[in-house]
Amino acid sequence: MSPPLQPVVSELIELLSLERLEDNLFRGQSRDIGTKYVFGGQVLGQALSAAQATMEQPRDAHSLHAYFLRAGDIEHPIVYHVDRTRDGGTFSVRRVTAIQHGQVIFFCAASFQEHEDGGEHQLSMPEVPKPEDIEPAPAIPPEVLATLPTKVQRWLDRMGPFEFRHVYPRDELNPPKRPPFQQVWFRLAEKVGDAPELHRALLAYASDFHLLGTATFPHGISYYQPNVQMASLDHALWFHRPFRADDWLLYSIDSPSAQGSRGLARGLIYDRHGQLVASTAQEGLIRVTADKSSAHVPASK
C-alpha cells in the first residue's frame, strides 16, 4: 500500500477531481492559498479536467486557450459547462465555461488529438544547474513576514504542493531591475498516479506560477508591493510530449513586451532530460497605483 500523500498534495488532487453534475456539467471547489481571489491556475486545471472528462475517444489534450473575465470568489464553488464542439476523425474540440454567482468568470477552448507519428524538432533546453544543485529558497524571517499584509503573509508562509527552485533567485520584497528572463525548476512535492490526464491538469495549475511576474523584472516592481496590481487576462498552453508533473521540470520564461498596463510572458517547459514537453503564453494586467492601500495580492501571477 502506498503511503498517504501530504495534505497539500492530496488537497490539490481533490481540487482537480471535479464533481460531475450532468454529462457536460461539473462543479469544482475553490481553495484560499493566500490570494485575494481564486488562483488562475486552479481554474485552468479544473477547466482542463472538465474537458478531459468528456472525451470518449483515446485522444490527448494538445492545446488550451483561455480568457479570465472576472475574479473568482474563493468562498464558493465554480460550475464548469463543457460544450462538445466537435469530434472529428482525429481531433476533438471542447469549449469550457466557468460560472460563479450566475456570471461567466472564465472560458477556454481545448483541442485533443489521437496519437500520430510525424517529423519532430525542438529548441534545446538552456544550460542551467541541475535542481539538486540549487538550494531551496530560505524562509522569510518572521520579523519581516510580520510587516506584510495578512494575505501576503499567508501566501509566503504556505508550503504549497509544488517545489520551486529558481536558477537566478530574485528578492521579491525588494526587487532589483533586471532583464525579463528567468528559469525555474519545479515539481509536485510527492509522486502520484500515472494517469496522463492528471499530470496535464497539474501542469496547467503550475504553469500559472512565475509566468506573468517575469514581465515585472525590468521595472523593479513585484506583486508583493502594496501599490502593484496584477492579474491574468489570458493564458495559452500547448502540450508537446509526455511528462510527469512529479518529476523535475524546467520552466524557461521570457517577457518580450510590456505596454498599456499589460505584460506579455512566454514559457518553455522541459523535463530534466532536455525534452520540450510544453509551451505557454500569457498576457496580464500590471498596474502601479498611486494609492498604496488599493492594491492586493493577485489572483494569478
Catalytic residue numbers read: 208, 232, 282
DSSP state of 205: H
Which residue type is seen at 272? R
The number of angstroms, rounded, from the C-alpha of 237 to the middle of its chain's C-alpha atoms is 10
Which phi and psi (to 5°) does residue 294 adopt? -90, -15
Cell of 92: 476533438
CA neighbours within 13 Å on the CB side: how many for 146? 3
CB atoms under 10 Å from CB of 171, counted, come to 9
**In which element (H, E) is residue 151 found?**
helix 150-157
**Angstrom distance (rounded) from CA 9 to CA 22:** 27
Report CA-CA distances (Å) from 267 to 49, 67, 183.
22, 17, 9
CB 295 within 8 A of CB 228: yes
The number of angstroms, rounded, from the C-alpha of 11 to the middle of its chain's C-alpha atoms is 16
CA neighbours within 13 Å on the CB side: how many for 30? 23
Through-space distance between the first and last CA atoms of the chain, rounded to whole angstroms? 37
Residue 64, strand partner residues: 110, 237
**Angstrom distance (rounded) from CA 85 to CA 96:** 10
CB atoms under 10 Å from CB of 63, counted, come to 17
